[in-house]
Amino acid sequence: MPDFDDKVATCFLENQSQLFPEPVATTLEEARAFLEEIFAVVADSKEEVYSYFEEEGLDISGLSEDDLLEADEVFDVGDGRYLIIEG
């Protein structure tokens, strides 16, 4: 199970509106529970984000790593890690 530490949970809480029209969590505990429930992924680098989308079989041909990082499903944690939420 991924480790949704305070930094990851806070990132999701502060930026959840980029993916959801209404808040799905209001506390760190709710954020962690939601991320676990939907099987969110924490990638340790840009390269891991790209690899994740490749492994999931998504057509990412023609997209750069930076293009993927701008997807609504990708949240920049701010410490080199990225939270990925499949919508």
Could you say which DSSP state residue 84 is in? Answer: E
Q: Does residue 29 form part of some domain? A: yes
pLDDT at 64: 87
What total number of domains does the chain contain?
1
Per-residue 3-state assignment (H helix, E strand, C coil) for 8-67: HHHHHHHHHHHCCCCCCCCCHHHHHHHHHHCCCEEECCHHHHHHHHHHCCCCCCCCCHHH
pLDDT per position as a tens digit, 25-78:
999 999 999 999 999 999 999 999 999 999 999 888 888 888 999 999 999 999
Q: Does residue 44 form part of some domain? A: yes
Q: Does residue 66 form part of some domain? A: yes
Question: Is the pLDDT reported for residue 2 higher than 70?
Answer: no
Q: Does residue 1 form part of some domain? A: no
Q: Which residue has the higher pLDDT, 58 or 2?
A: 58
Enclosing domain of residue 80: 6-84
Q: What is the pTM of this model?
A: 0.91
Calculate Rg over the CA atoms of the chain: 12
